[in-house]
Chain A
Amino acid sequence: AQSVSQHNHHVILSEAASLELGCNYSYGGTVNLFWYVQYPGQHLQLLLKYFSGDPLVKGIKGFEAEFIKSKFSFNLRKPSVQWSDTAEYFCAVNARVSWGKLQFGAGTQVVVTP
């Protein structure tokens, strides 16, 4: 069965620090990959997505992610975080043979301290 693993449940870091969140999935076929973010009190929003092409994708708010097919990974990065990046981050995978349903990881709660 398809699964998505996020390496950290909670991350605390200071403003201007670099952030990297790990995501691995288990599925042998072709996938679409997503990172969603949920700011406090808000709904899930798409941060970035990978369908095909350049494995390094850039999203909103300075985030980027790299798809490494051989490692079944799609790690999220931001070089310098801000207090406003405090949120929960979800990695999600969609197997192209499915109806488009997303399989989510458990999420990583990121707290950025001033």
Chain B
Amino acid sequence: GAGVSQSPRYKVAKRGQDVALRCDPISGHVSLFWYQQALGQGPEFLTYFQNEAQLDKSGLPSDRFFAERPEGSVSTLKIQRTQQEDSAVYLCASSPGRAGHYNEQFFGPGTRLTVL
């Protein structure tokens, strides 16, 4: 079956532009996570959704970052007024059950954002 998909795969933005990154999780997966991976680093947690509810946004680096999952399936990560330090790969992962249960996370290919 289809895995987690993300679009676009690559995005180049000028500093100050707004960007929107999309994640299509595996169908039926309850949990959805966003991670940010800077060059040479491991992924870092940004935010977590259980269905449409955003239960944890403690990893969002600033109020320029906003995520939503209005119908409990597709999710969008929006970054307003992009800065050069936002350049990274943004990973989406989904999991079949509620977080806290013994579930594996399935990762998408990521969106590589470059801010000039």
Contacts and interface: CB of A to CB of B under 8 A. Distances in A.
Contacts of A99: 48, 50, 55-56, 99-100
Contacts of A104: 35, 42-44
Sorting the interface of chain A by its residue count into under 10, 10 to 19, 20 to 34 or 35 or more gives: 20 to 34
Given A90-B42, A99-B48, A99-B55, A32 B102 contact: yes
B48 A46 contact: no
B107 A44 contact: yes
B42 A101 contact: no
A16 interface: no
A100 B103 contact: yes
Given A43-B107, A106-B41, A107-B41, A101 B33 contact: yes
B108 interface: yes
A70 interface: no
Contacts of B56: 98-99, 101
Contacts of A36: 107
Contact of A43 (B41, B59, B101, B108): B108
Given A99-B55, A100-B95, A43 B100 contact: no
Contacts, number: 69
By CB atoms of chain A within 10 A, which of B105, B109, B110 has the most? Answer: B105
B110 A43 contact: yes
B40 interface: yes
A98 B100 contact: yes
Interface of B: 3-4, 31, 33, 35, 40-45, 48, 50, 55-56, 59, 91, 93, 95, 98-110
12 contacts: A32-B102, A43-B109, A44-B91, A90-B42, A98-B100, A99-B99, A100-B33, A100-B48, A100-B99, A101-B56, A101-B59, A106-B42
A-B CB proximity, top 7 nearest: A100-B99, A104-B42, A44-B107, A99-B99, A101-B45, A43-B109, A51-B102
Given A43-B108, A99-B56, 10 more contacts: A32-B102, A43-B107, A43-B110, A46-B104, A92-B42, A96-B100, A98-B56, A100-B33, A104-B42, A104-B44
